[in-house]
Amino acid sequence: MLDPLVILVALACGFVASTAGLPPLIGYLAAGFVLHGMQFGGGDLLASLADIGVTLLLFTIGLKLSPPELLKPRVWGTTVVHMACMQLLFTLVMLAAGALLPDLGLDLTGILVLAFALTFSSTVFVIQVMQAKGELSSRHAELAIGILIIQDLAAVLFLAASKGTLPHTEAVLLLLLWPARGLILKLLARAGHGDLFTLCGFALALGGAGLFEWVGIKGDLGALILGALLAGHQKSKELARNMVQFKDVFLVCFFLTIGLQGFPSAGGVVIALILGALALLKPLLYFPLMTWLHTPPRTALLASTALANYSEFGLVVVAIAAGVGWVDPQWTVTLSLAIAISFLLSSPLTRRAHGWYSRYHDVWLRFESHQVRRAVPDTRDARIVVLGMGNIGTNAYDAIAEKHGHHTLGVDLNEKRLEDHRRQHRRVVMADASDPDFWHRVNLGEVKLVLLALTQHQENMLVGRLLREQGYTGEVAVVVRFSEEAEELEQCGFSPFNLYAQAGAGFAAHALEQVASDAT
């Protein structure tokens, strides 16, 4: 049974962090250290819940995965070169630490393993921060998550190699998962939309992890691959939305377990402080690499600052290395503190990155490649702009385009979705609605109406406020699902359209029309 004390301390620290303007996960890390100071051990249940949280995280990442995106040079090229450079940097740092502090017990193997563990950035941290800011569907979040996925794959390959064994012969049977995709999607369709559907999500995530473990492959990779197998289908999007709250709750346990690792020795604390500060060097390499590989400067800046931290997978790598005698077990505790410090330092960077881009806009644009400069979306003569071309946005676009034709413009980031729209002769462009540079190219003086049909309320609020900051004074209509969201939008001067309330009114009007037609 999970001790209520754990929940209360986590809740209190989460509130304190949130009040201080930090992500709640910083509070959960602090809660772990507080609980350790109270001699609370955590226990097997907390560790199991933390493992489930990471598994669900990777499963939901897989559900949103786009393999073509990972194959782009700006994703895999940035990742490979950055990891190689960071490996060299942290190897030199560890060599210096080993020479100055012989008690650390570092040999060449241990130094290389620790340096490798420090090359990763945190998937959990980045997704939690992006989600809280309403930027999870942005271009910079997509780039950062793509880089993190490749890093996670590298970590999983290391863990598999560290076992000293190859996958079992039965691993060949995993190839049957691809032809089974259709059957899995049919089962999801049969499950409906309620608790049975959510239970299917748990079964797929945990079952996929268990299946891969059974054939000698890291289970987390199994959850990621099984999610990726379903990516691109409408049911995968619905499943991702259903699983997100459960994933968030379980990940609280994950952050608690990092803090519960406790504090290292005095020398370890000094090393952890130095390593935590060195995480801030990561963006200095990420940014030029991304822009060199034709990433827009704003996207590169926001993605780079989000990656200025260390990964939870680094702890797993060091724990495995300690188990086989490559490093001293004390490094697990030292690295856990370094990860916590990197999270604490990275959080202000992600908050201030938008301001830095606006303040030094001309400086960042000097890094813009010619290829990016040429790929400017055509927004001429746009009078009505629909942001988010999913089901709701598409229906709104079609209804408006019947009257306004070419003056209606659809905006989305999903390349495959945009191709479908172009085949149906809709006027659409690929752009990030949260990017000020996109709005600089739009003649906002001619735009009379902007419809926000983005995925999350936070995203809609973010873009709505950006429009006002850019001087747009026209009408902004926003899709909402809950009354409190509608109230917040009205306070900001936006026009909310409550899906549930308006759907009821539309349903009643439709029914009355049927009654009237039957009477005649």
> What predicted TM-score, i.e. pTM, was given to this entire model?
0.75
Half-sphere exposure of 130 (CA within 13 A, CB side): 24
Least confident of 69-83, 108-122, 203-217, 271-285: 203-217
CB 167 within 8 A of CB 222: no
Q: What percent of the chain has pLDDT over 70?
A: 94
CATH assignment of 44-361, given 1.20.1530.20, 3.30.920.30, 3.30.360.10, 2.60.40.420? 1.20.1530.20
- SS3 of 24-90: the string is HHHHHHHHHHHHHHCCCCCHHHHHHHHHHHHHHHHHHHHHCCCHHHHCCHHHHHHHHHHHHHHHHHH
Residue 487, helix vs strand vs coil? helix
Mean pLDDT of 82-97: 93
Weakest-pLDDT range from 140-149, 200-209, 260-269, 416-425: 260-269
pLDDT digits (tens, 9 = 90+) for 421-473: 999 999 999 888 888 888 888 888 899 999 988 877 888 888 888 888 888 88
Please state which of the ranges 50-59, 177-186, 279-288 shows the lowest mean pLDDT.
50-59
Q: Is it the case that residue 279 has pLDDT exceeding 60? A: yes
- For the stretch 208-261, pLDDT in tens is 888 888 887 777 778 888 888 888 777 887 888 788 778 878 878 887 887 787
Which of 237-256 are b and which e, b meaning 16 or more Cβ less than 10 Å from the residue's Cβ? bebbebbbebbbebbbbbbb
429, 409 contact by CB (below 8 A): yes
pLDDT at 500: 67
Q: Comparing 185 with 43, which gets the higher pLDDT?
A: 185
Mean pLDDT lowest for which of 155-169, 359-373, 490-504? Answer: 155-169
The CATH homologous superfamily for domain 376-519 is NAD(P)-binding Rossmann-like Domain (3.40.50.720)
What does DSSP assign to residue 103?
G
| Amino acid, res. 219 | G
DSSP-assigned states of every residue in 182-221? HHHHHHHHHTTTSHHHHHHHHHHHHHHHHHHHHTTS-HHH
Q: Judging by DSSP bridges, how do beta strands 449-452 and 475-480 pair with one another?
A: parallel
Q: Note the pLDDT tens digit of each residue in 298-343.
A: 999 999 999 999 987 787 778 778 777 888 877 888 888 888 889 8
pLDDT at 264 over 60: yes
- Tally Cβ neighbours within 10 Å of residue 150: 16
Please give the angle made by the CA atoms of 24, 26 and 30, to the nearest 5 degrees: 115
pLDDT at 516: 67
Closest CA to 217 of 178, 148, 165, 146: 165
Domain boundaries, the chain: 44-361, 376-519
